[in-house]
Amino acid sequence: MKYDLLVIGAGPGGYVCAIRAAQLGLKTAVAERRETGGTCLNRGCIPAKTLLHSAELYRNVLNGAKFGITAENPKINVEKVFERKNEVSAKLREGINRLFKANKIDFYSASAKILGEGKALLSSDGEEEIIECKSIVIATGSAPALIPVEGADLDGVLTSDGLLQMNDRIPEKLVIIGGGVIGMEFAEAYSAFGSEVTIIEAMPEILPMMDKDISRNLSVIMKKRGVNIHTSASVNKIEKTDEGLCVHFSGKTGEKTAVCDTVLIAAGRKANTEGLFGEGVNILTERGRILTDENMMTNINNIYAIGDVTMGIQFAHAASAQGIFAAEHIAGKKSCTDLSVIPSCVYTSPEIASVGLTESEAKKKGISVKKGKFMMSANGRALINDDERGFVKVIFDSETGCLKGAQLMCSRATDMVGELAGAIANKMTAEQLLKAVKAHPTFSEAIAEAIEDSMGRAVHVAPKIR
Q: Is the pLDDT of residue 464 over 80?
A: no
What band does 341 get if pLDDT is binned at 50, 70 and 90? very high
What band does 335 get if pLDDT is binned at 50, 70 and 90? very high
Report the pLDDT value the prediction gives residue 326, as an integer from 0 to 100.
97
Q: Is the pLDDT of residue 466 over 70?
A: no
Q: Is 66 helix (H, G, I), strand (E, B) or coil?
A: helix
Please, what is the Cα angle at 137 between 275 and 20, to 5 degrees?
A: 145
Q: Is 440 a catalytic residue?
A: yes
Written as one string, the DSSP assignment of 258-298 is: EEESEEEE-S-EEE--TT-B-TT----EETTEE---TTSB-
Report the pLDDT value the prediction gives residue 126, as an integer from 0 to 100.
85
Contacts of 17-21 with CB under 8 Å at 24 or more apart are 17/137, 17/139, 17/306, 17/322, 17/323, 17/324, 17/326, 17/327, 18/100, 18/103, 18/105, 18/323, 18/327, 19/99, 19/100, 19/103, 19/105, 20/323, 20/324, 20/327, 20/328, 21/327, 21/330, 21/331
Other CB atoms within 10 Å distance of the CB of residue 165: 14
Residues in the chain: 466
Report the pLDDT value the prediction gives residue 174, as an integer from 0 to 100.
98
Dist CA 8 CA 275 (whole Å): 12
Which amino acid appears at position 3 of this protein?
Y
Report the pLDDT value the prediction gives residue 252, as an integer from 0 to 100.
85
What band does 167 get if pLDDT is binned at 50, 70 and 90? confident
Q: Which of 53, 230, 248, 440 is catalytic?
A: 440
Q: Is the pLDDT of residue 272 over 90?
A: yes
Q: 303-305 and 289-290 as β-strands: parallel, antiparallel, unpaired? A: unpaired
pTM: predicted TM-score of the whole model, two decimal places: 0.93
Query: C-alpha 19: how far from its chain's center?
Result: 22
Dist CA 302 CA 5 (whole Å): 9
Residue-wise pLDDT tens digits, 390-430: 999 999 999 999 999 999 999 999 999 999 999 999 999 99
For residues 312-318, average pLDDT: 91
Residue-wise pLDDT tens digits, 199-248: 999 999 999 999 999 999 999 999 999 999 999 999 999 999 999 999 99
Residue 150 per-residue DSSP state: B
Report the pLDDT value the prediction gives residue 391, as an integer from 0 to 100.
97
Residue 286 near residue 273 (C-beta atoms within 8 A)? no
Residue-wise pLDDT tens digits, 170-199: 999 999 999 999 999 999 999 999 999 999
Report the pLDDT value the prediction gives residue 312, as an integer from 0 to 100.
83
Q: Is the pLDDT of residue 381 over 70?
A: yes
Written as one string, the DSSP assignment of 352-405 is: EEEEE--HHHHHHTT--EEEEEEEGGG-HHHHHHT--S-EEEEEEETTT-BEEE
Q: What is the mean pLDDT of the chain?
A: 94
pLDDT exceeding 70 applies to what percent of the chain? 100
